């Protein structure tokens, strides 16, 4: 199965929060941290980056490059709170989330019916609506390419690299964009006449090993876009669900009840084979024709069809006559914190 991996990267996360919380900073060069002459910047916003300021830069250097830079103190408690909100948004779309830091994460959405690009756009929109912050995204068949792609259309943009486009994308990609290829590595490769992944692809595997050793073998795969690493989740599954997106919007609740019956059976079978956790509650989600959505939940461990029919009726009534484009049926497990509308 072709995987769909999304890499979400918040745009100047710490600095963006400071500007959001103090609108007087909007449009001005801002650096976070290093408010003493001997400190270093934790990050800088895009206005400051235009002058060459960046994270880990000594404050005195930043002031030389950008005398107008405004320094704000680090507020990690606030950054963690915002990061928690963003991760909660990720959890609405998949359980397979690998946070890399407070401001970026991988999401495996391979089992979703929607396209990766559509999901990434929806996730980014939700982040903006709920936090006032922008995020960029990369969508690809693996983690490496997704991470590279997330940096392509910053800020507040995204890029999808489909499986059939991987070869062309990698051929034109500068090796400097690959993780693990720093300044010295670039210089080493440049001496071999290698500036792009396409240049490196001209080497055979034997030549790559002879010229660069073990690192050369790693680059041999990277430059071809190969990366079989999984999105790793260090916690137990919080929920399990099945969804159906309809080609045409549905305005017949009886028709939806028939689909619900099939989805409930699929979820029940999946729970038997994929999870040993105790069920906490039963869940039904509807997404309407105007892309608004509602989720109804009821506590209990038995997956009775009657309960799911009640939940669907409740969710349907909230739409006030709007047609439905997606129906989701699922369960939440004992260790999950509820983020849904409770019955």
Residue 250: CATH number of its domain: 3.30.1490.100
- What local confidence, expressed as pLDDT, does residue 235 receive? 59
- What local confidence, expressed as pLDDT, does residue 276 receive? 57
- What local confidence, expressed as pLDDT, does residue 247 receive? 85
Residues annotated catalytic, as ranges: 104
| Cis amide bond preceding 155, omega within 30 | yes
| Rg of the chain in Å (alpha carbons) | 24
- What local confidence, expressed as pLDDT, does residue 169 receive? 96
Spell out, as residue ranges, where the chain has pLDDT lower than 50.
336-343
Instruction: Judge if 215 and 308 occupy the same domain.
Output: no
Domain boundary among 161, 183, 210: 161
Residue 71 lies in a domain: yes
Instruction: Judge if 217 and 125 occupy the same domain.
Output: no
Residue 156 lies in a domain: yes
- In angstroms, the CA 63 to CA 262 distance is 63
- What local confidence, expressed as pLDDT, does residue 275 receive? 55
Instruction: Judge if 140 and 195 occupy the same domain.
Output: no
Enter the tokens of residue 225: 């876009």
Enter the tokens of residue 143: 């983690």
- What local confidence, expressed as pLDDT, does residue 269 receive? 79
How would DSSP label each residue in 290-335? Answer: TS-EEEEEEE-S---HHHHHHHHHHHHHHTTT--EEEEEEEEEETT
Residues 225 and 169 sit within 8 Å (Cβ to Cβ): yes
Segments forming the whole domain that contains residue 269:
239-342
- In angstroms, the CA 105 to CA 8 distance is 6
CA angle 109, 80, 28 (to 5 degrees): 100
Domain boundary among 161, 196, 213: 161
Instruction: Judge if 211 and 327 occupy the same domain.
Output: no
Instruction: Judge if 216 and 250 occupy the same domain.
Output: no
- What local confidence, expressed as pLDDT, does residue 179 receive? 86
- In angstroms, the CA 15 to CA 112 distance is 33
Strands (E) in the chain, as ranges, are 5-10, 30-32, 43-44, 70-72, 97-101, 104-108, 135-140, 158-160, 239-250, 279-288, 293-299, 324-333, 341-342
- What local confidence, expressed as pLDDT, does residue 340 receive? 36
**0.85 exceeded by the pTM?**
no
């Amino acid at each position: 199965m072709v995987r769909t991996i999304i890499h979400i990267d918040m745009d100047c996360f710490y600095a963006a929060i400071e500007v959001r919380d103090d609108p007087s900073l909007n449009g001005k060069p801002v650096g976070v941290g290093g408010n003493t002459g001997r400190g270093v910047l934790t990050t800088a916003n895009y206005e400051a980056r235009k002058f060459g300021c960046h994270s880990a830069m000594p404050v005195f250097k930043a002031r030389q490059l950008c005398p107008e830079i405004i320094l704000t103190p680090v507020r990690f408690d606030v950054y963690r709170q915002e990061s928690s909100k963003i991760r909660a948004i990720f959890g609405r779309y998949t359980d397979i989330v690998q946070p890399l830091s407070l401001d970026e994460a991988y999401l495996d959405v391979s089992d979703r019916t929607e396209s990766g690009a559509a999901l990434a756009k929806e996730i980014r929109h939700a982040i903006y609506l709920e936090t006032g912050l922008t995020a960029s995204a990369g969508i690809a068949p693996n983690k490496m390419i997704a991470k590279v792609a997330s940096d392509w259309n910053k800020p507040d943009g995204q890029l999808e690299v489909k499986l059939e486009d991987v070869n062309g994308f990698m051929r034109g990609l500068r090796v400097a964009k690959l993780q693990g290829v720093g300044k010295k590595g670039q210089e080493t490769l440049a001496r071999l006449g290698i500036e792009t992944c396409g240049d490196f692809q001209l080497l055979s595997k034997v030549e790559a090993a002879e010229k660069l050793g073990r690192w050369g073998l790693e680059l041999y795969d990277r430059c071809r876009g190969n990366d079989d690493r999984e999105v790793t989740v260090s916690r137990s599954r919080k929920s399990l669900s099945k969804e159906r997106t309809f080609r045409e919007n549905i305005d017949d609740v009886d028709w939806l009840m028939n689909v619900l019956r099939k989805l409930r059976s699929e979820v029940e079978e999946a729970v038997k084979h994929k999870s040993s956790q105790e069920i906490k509650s039963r869940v039904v989600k509807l997404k309407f024709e105007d892309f608004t959505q509602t989720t109804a939940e009821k506590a209990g461990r038995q997956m009775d069809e009657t309960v799911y029919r009640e939940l669907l009726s409740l969710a349907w009534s909230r739409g006030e006559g709007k047609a439905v484009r997606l129906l989701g049926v699922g369960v939440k497990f004992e260790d999950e914190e509820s983020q849904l509308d409770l019955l």
